[in-house]
Structure 1
Amino acid sequence: MTKLRGAVIGVGYLGNFHAQKYKNNPNVELVGVCDHFPAQADKIAADLGVKSFHKPEDLIGQVDLVTIAASTLSHYELAKMFLQNGVHVNVEKPITATVPQAEELVAFAQKNNLKLAVGHIERFNPSVLEVKKHLKNPKVIELNRMATYKTRGADVSVLHDLMIHDIDMLFFLSGSEIESMIGTGSKLVSKELDTASVTFKMKNGVVGIINVSRVSSGMQRSVRVIQEDNTIFALTGTHELEKVEKGNGTPDELVKITKWTVNKEDALQKETDAFIDAVLNNKNPVVTGLDGLKALKAIEDVEKLIEG
């Protein structure tokens, strides 16, 4: 079988990993990497033994699919250029800087039968998938994402940087749309929001609570789900899970607590492989452009709520 030809646009910290994942997939030939900074493109290309490109347009005609891991502000123009030239696109989250840009890309991809996938990597997190398996009739879904401050990513708010992961997970785990929300946030270091706490009422009655901060003393990612007869808690960074339910009624076991772990998996490799599989077998991506648009719309609504 002829291999698909792929490339990564934007090979900074995250894009470098994306390029490595392409190299690991037997169905793709990594044609090259491209970056706004020529020296960075040259360095990563040399490390991976592929060609370096300094202009993304030079890849047209040489690739079947690309991953865009450049700055958010460039997502729209880059994705549009490749889609208009018949190239399937996987773009890092958020899909674009604005909702109208995302709507245009989604409509164009659908009209022209092109795959547009969005890098909401938590959909491939084994802990999140394990929690999903245990859901029956969730009443409350609480998502917490705490990180230490880094200048990388600080050009956008904590909503676009971190909360967008949890918004997508809330849609994924609740299986519903947002009906209403209340929330607040603060700007401690940046010109943009650094913390946010929002409570959502979903249309199916589920209450969603999302707390994010990029000015915490340590890193933590967790999911807690309250159901009729149990509570499930997962540390999604370390893949430790806990289920609390009614015990057998004896004094020794009024409450039954079950703890377990799931195997760590390479979520970025799974994301890359899923995108390649969607192109190869003409399937919908696991996280579609429409999913990315929905998450971005919700983030913009949260931003309007908090900023007033």
Structure 2
Amino acid sequence: METNHRTRIAVIGAGAFGRNHLRVYRELEASTDVQLTAVVDASPEIRTAAAAQYSIPAFATVEELLAARLDLDAASVCVPTIHHAAVAQQLLAAGLDVLIEKPFAATLEEAEQTLAIARAHDRIVQIGHLERFNPAVTATLENLTQPMFFEAHRLSLFTPRSLDVDVVLDLMIHDLDIVLALARSEVASVHATGIPILSRKTDIANVRVEFHSGAVANFTASRVSTEQVRKLRLFQPHQYLSLDFARQELLTISVDPALAEQISNGYRPPATVPANHPTTGFDLQKLDLPRAEPLRLELEDFLASIRTRQQPRVPGEAGLAALALALRINAEIAAHHQRAGL
């Protein structure tokens, strides 16, 4: 790509997710080489409103977009999950790089076909697991040693958004992707249960995943909760880390290995301790992290990949792995329903 060429982007789908992509791309025009070029949406009202707000042409279909010959470089795919693969494959075959909102696709076959087309056309596929760009996750990766236990909770109030998928593909998949990146091990076994509450699909689920490394992860996700919770805790030798995604905070509690050895041999620390430490020899830190909008960081990463032709932070293969685990969990939930006679 020529250095003076602006990266021309289209947003496919201008609903809840697409509106944010449109907004951030327009904001990034002031600091990067991106140019928000077009929008596609099947709804006449939605695409007309987006076209007026951003002064860009709007189209009803991807076919119309491609026929307009706008010299596009890439696109964000923000349509419902069932359309992810069809839309992305059209764009890839036309020579565009794509960022596909999570989950990657409705089936593994669709995701694998999409990756095959991307490889055939030497195109970039990035999956929109934007929690990977949360400053708390970035800080956790910097402090990672040998995580052995994870506890993830993602609870949300009920909304009619994303009812085309269940809670595993809607909410839990964020934490599945993050834990897969942190555990760095293949999944050995999955145990899961979940039930529908207000929709026809699973609205609350609890999952236990065991990895070949010996690590274990528990996941709870609900979209029928009375509170909003987005937290992940993990334990590794001599350290506990607690992430709050909403607050973009990371709390760490570390213990001196020498003290751990002494305690295992019967030593008990004194009762009087500094106010900010749980006990002598324990180091509690709340990291001072710069706040940032994960979507902005995600789109900046996508644009950098387009320019450099390097893999993005969340390539298609990572999205495929998260999707595979999510679908495996759903199969376990279905099997549990059958055993329980639900």
Whether these two folds match at TM > 0.5 is yes
Question: Structure 2: how far apart are the matches of 1:127 and 1:235?
Answer: 7
**1:55 Cα offset (Å):** 2.1
Give the structure 2 partner of residue 270 of structure 1: 297
- 1:11 is aligned to 14
Q: Which residue of 2 aligns with 1:87?
A: 96
Q: Tell me if the contact between 1:76 and 1:101 (Cα under 8 Å) persists in the aligned partners.
A: yes
Kept after mapping to 1: 8 A contact 2:12/2:75:
yes
CA distance in structure 1 between the aligned counterparts of 2:84 and 2:294, rounded to whole angstroms: 22
CA distance in 1, matches of 2:254, 2:94: 54
Most deviating of 294-303 and 44-53: 44-53
1:24 is matched with which residue?
27
CA distance in 2, matches of 1:155, 1:64: 29
Secondary structure of 2:147's counterpart equals: coil
Please give the root-mean-square deviation of Cα atoms over the aligned residues, in Å.
1.4
Preserved contact between residue 239 and residue 261 of structure 1 (Cα < 8 Å)? no
Q: What is the distance in 1 between the residues matched to 2:114 and 2:220?
A: 30
1:37 is matched with 43
Confirm whether residue 155 of structure 1 aligns to residue 164 of structure 2. Answer: yes
Q: How many residues align?
A: 308
Matches within 5 A, 1:167-178: 167-178=176-187
1:246 aligned onto 2:249? no
Question: Which residue, 74, 94, 104 being the options, matches 1:65?
Answer: 74
Worse-matched range after superposition: 234-243 or 111-120: 234-243
Report SS of the residue matched to 1:172: helix
Highest CA radius of gyration, 1 or 2? 2
Instruction: Give TM-score scaled by structure 1 length.
Output: 0.96
Provide the C-alpha distance between the structure 2 equivalents of 1:58 and 1:286, rounded to a whole number of angstroms. 31
103, 109, 130: which is aligned to 2:118? 109
Give yes or no for contact 2:80–2:164 (8 Å, CA) kept in 1. no
Offset, 1:250: 4.1
Which residue matches 1:52? 58
> What's the offset of the Cα at 1:43?
0.4
Structure 1 residue runs of 5 or longer lacking an equivalent are: none
C-alpha distance in structure 2 between counterparts of 1:104 and 1:266, whole Å: 32
Would the aligned equivalents of 2:149 and 2:235 in 1 still touch at CA under 8 Å?
yes
Q: Which residue, out of 204, 207, 210, partners 1:195?
A: 204
Identity value in percent: 30
Counterpart among 260, 279, 284 of residue 257 in structure 1: 284
Residue-by-residue CA offset, 1:251-275 (whole Å, 9 max, x unaligned): 3133443223422201101111111
TM-score, scaled to structure 2? 0.87
Structure 2 match to 1:210: 219
Deviation for aligned residue 1:143: 1.4
Q: Matches of 2:284 and 2:317 in 1, distance apart?
A: 39
Query: How big is the shift at 1:42?
Result: 1.1
